[in-house]
Structure 1
Amino acid sequence: MGSIGEPSKAPPILDFSAFHSSDSEVRSNLIQHIRSACQDKGFFQLTNHGISPDLRNRVSSACKSFFALPLEEKLELDMKKNKYNRGYEKHGAQMLEPGTAPESIEGLYLGEDLPADHPRVLRGDHNCGPNLWPKSLGKDFEDVCTEYWNAMRSVAIDVMRALALGLGLEEGWFDEFTDSPVGTLRFIHYPPTPTTSEKERGIGAHRDFGCITLLMQDEVGGLQVLEPSTSEWLDVKPIPGAYVVNLGNLMMRWTNHKYTSDLHRVMNYSGRDRYSIPYFFTGNPKFMFDCIPGCEGGEGWKKPEKMMVRDFLKEQFDTSYARVKT
């Protein structure tokens, strides 16, 4: 299952079936490993998570089929043409690492398909709105994306329950936060990263913005996480069938940095196209958070003012996209 407290090691690979085990010792051991990983780098990999190989294969095929479309067709879904943060993100649209070139990726943002007159959309909740679907891929594409989004929401809620136990809380402590949550599904295509450029990245060094990310990566590799004690970049090697789980800035702030959101990047030197499908779970946008019980204290600590989830996320997102314009 991996060992606890080895900061020089890559993120551990954990068997999530233990979370549903009737054996309390097996379950407790998993929670301890998750807690340790969250305190170390905020990264771990999960196997036996409940997402079927069939669904994973179908959504992977959908991802590749989208990026195989002509650029003109993808640009019909340009996310800059709407205010919902949905649709196609063209190459070089974002810069996460200051001082580097814009990200060498293209992407597609999807989420719960909410109509424009839905209360969440009307009040401007981050990443809420109608999806933009590629017409030529038809209803099968829409159906598999929707099925996958719903499945990932269920896994994310289970992971949040495991995180609660690791923090010494009741398993359902995050239930209000995970009720009616926002989750963003992103298809990403990485062309090979030129080895001759010092500034070009697949994705530059960054921390995720939200609560937790569940990432399905392909076999190409290239994801790296920083080991802060040595400034070494560690490979997060693809494990067939596994999800990479990492914490975002929202969870780091909420735990008063007891759990961490670590820097990570993608350097695709493989010479091949790389595809990944992250699911960003940000919880209920109206939820107000400050500091989780038991995480208070520390040098110079002062209890933070309560902040609404949607306001925190908008602040994070606006900062990263503004870098491209400067």
Structure 2
Amino acid sequence: MSDVTLSTTNGIKVVDFRPFVDGTNKQAVADAILNSFKDTGFVYLINHPVPKEKIEEMFVLSKKFFDLSMEKKQLAPHPPSGTHHRGYSAPGVEKISQHIYDMDELAKNRIKAPDVKESFECGREEDENMPNIWLPDGILPGFKETCLDFFWLLYEAELTIWGAMALGFKLPEDYFKAYHTKPDNQLRLLHYPSVTAEDLAKETITRIGAHSDFGSMTLLMQDDVGGLEIENPQKPGTFTPAPYVEGAIMVNAGDFLARWSNDTIRSTIHRVRAPSGKFVEGMIPDRYSIPYFSSADFDTVVDCIPGTWSEENPKKYEPISAKDYVMQRLAASY
């Protein structure tokens, strides 16, 4: 285990990001992140550049938002279109339906077990593809400003991680930054209300079903309740807990990055289920998480990353724009 790989949690490497940020051992950090992405599609980063107090502030305000009455939350409604991911979605409205390709089975799945979660999503203010949808002034003072501040903090962190990814591929450090300049990204606040363990066990309801993320990369902050699980790449259908690690941001590769890397990197299927040992009188406690979904600039066409293909290992995919790829996936999943 290298000096920057501090431990492994259920197969996912815990990597110290500080030597990349301070420049003392950039290549070792870059190699550790890329190797973890190749192994599991996930990595925990500690000593990352997002201040702890900013994460805590966002979680506090997220809880305040979800504690509002349904009537007030619905004043910032998510549009019916699955391609406009902004605003508030109530519990049971969305249903992850990825990796089900038969239309009859898809319909049955959506009716059988709704996703019992609620969310709020936003992006940059000037996004022409997906304009933000905010609460009216005075409903929750400071909410809009805190969300936007946090969005841009995560964007700066994302760019730093992309620098490490580039070095991992033995490319110039700014290679991926040129594809992530706008950003066409999404900040999501998530609340999983308390539910009975029995209903989750019987799958009459779900929190989030098995899926992979669509974009380039996801940065995830989660509370200590737990429940996130990732599929074992060597044993499809077998899931392993990906628990809270104090001080860490969890980062995972999306489908677009897997394609971009000519499948060098894994985009691993994951889900949220009942956490072990957290039941109180048969009830599973509320869970809060904050994922930040990174996408390549929508108007940029990307080809397979240099070094991921050769005569012996030819390109598997044609060039594609991030907008075409992500919009197709969003429309099919909502």
Query: What is the TM-score normalised by the length of structure 1?
Result: 0.87
Aligned twin of 1:170: 172
Query: Secondary structure of the equivalent of 1:151?
Result: helix
**Is the counterpart of residue 74 in structure 1 residue 109 in structure 2?**
no
Determine the C-alpha separation between the residues in 2 that align with 1:48 and 1:137: 35
Match of 1:304 among 317, 322, 326: 317
**Alpha-carbon displacement from aligned partner over 1:58-91 (angstroms, at most 9, x marks no partner):** 1111100010000111112111267742100111
Aligned twin of 1:234: 240
The amino acid across from 1:305 in the alignment is E
Query: Secondary structure of the equivalent of 2:142?
Result: helix
User: How far is the alpha carbon of 1:134 from its aligned partner?
Assistant: 5.1
The amino acid across from 1:273 in the alignment is D
User: How far is the alpha carbon of 1:290 from its aligned partner?
Assistant: 2.2
**Alpha-carbon displacement from aligned partner over 1:181-209 (angstroms, at most 9, x marks no partner):** 21211000012354334333211110001
**RMSD (Å), alpha carbons:** 2.3
Greater mean deviation of Cα atoms: 291-300 or 278-287? 291-300
Determine the C-alpha separation between the residues in 2 that align with 1:84 and 1:317: 9
Query: What is the TM-score normalised by the length of structure 2?
Result: 0.85
Aligned twin of 2:103: none
2:5 touches 2:16 (CA, 8 Å); kept in 1?
A: no
Aligned twin of 1:110: 122
- Call closer, same or farther: CA 1:224–1:134 in 2, change over 3 Å: farther
1:290 touches 1:303 (CA, 8 Å); kept in 2?
A: no
1:41 touches 1:262 (CA, 8 Å); kept in 2?
A: yes
The amino acid across from 1:164 in the alignment is A
Query: Secondary structure of the equivalent of 1:196?
Result: helix
Aligned twin of 1:117: none
Structure 1: runs of 5+ lacking an equivalent: 115-119, 322-326
- Call closer, same or farther: CA 1:110–1:253 in 2, change over 3 Å: same
**Is the counterpart of residue 91 in structure 1 residue 91 in structure 2?**
yes
Query: Secondary structure of the equivalent of 1:204?
Result: strand
1:74 touches 1:134 (CA, 8 Å); kept in 2?
A: no
Determine the C-alpha separation between the residues in 2 that align with 1:191 and 1:298: 51
- Call closer, same or farther: CA 1:300–1:36 in 2, change over 3 Å: closer
Determine the C-alpha separation between the residues in 2 that align with 1:252 and 1:90: 31
- Call closer, same or farther: CA 1:313–1:221 in 2, change over 3 Å: same
User: How far is the alpha carbon of 1:216 from its aligned partner?
Assistant: 0.6
Aligned twin of 1:324: none
Query: Secondary structure of the equivalent of 2:197?
Result: coil
- Call closer, same or farther: CA 1:136–1:273 in 2, change over 3 Å: farther
Greater mean deviation of Cα atoms: 170-179 or 93-102? 93-102
Determine the C-alpha separation between the residues in 2 that align with 1:169 and 1:92: 44
2:58 touches 2:150 (CA, 8 Å); kept in 1?
A: yes
Query: Secondary structure of the equivalent of 1:34?
Result: helix
Query: Secondary structure of the equivalent of 1:12?
Result: strand
1:84 touches 1:130 (CA, 8 Å); kept in 2?
A: no
Determine the C-alpha separation between the residues in 2 that align with 1:298 and 1:45: 34
Aligned twin of 2:46: 47
**Is the counterpart of residue 2 in structure 1 residue 5 in structure 2?**
yes
User: How far is the alpha carbon of 1:305 from its aligned partner?
Assistant: 2.4
Equivalenced residues, count: 307
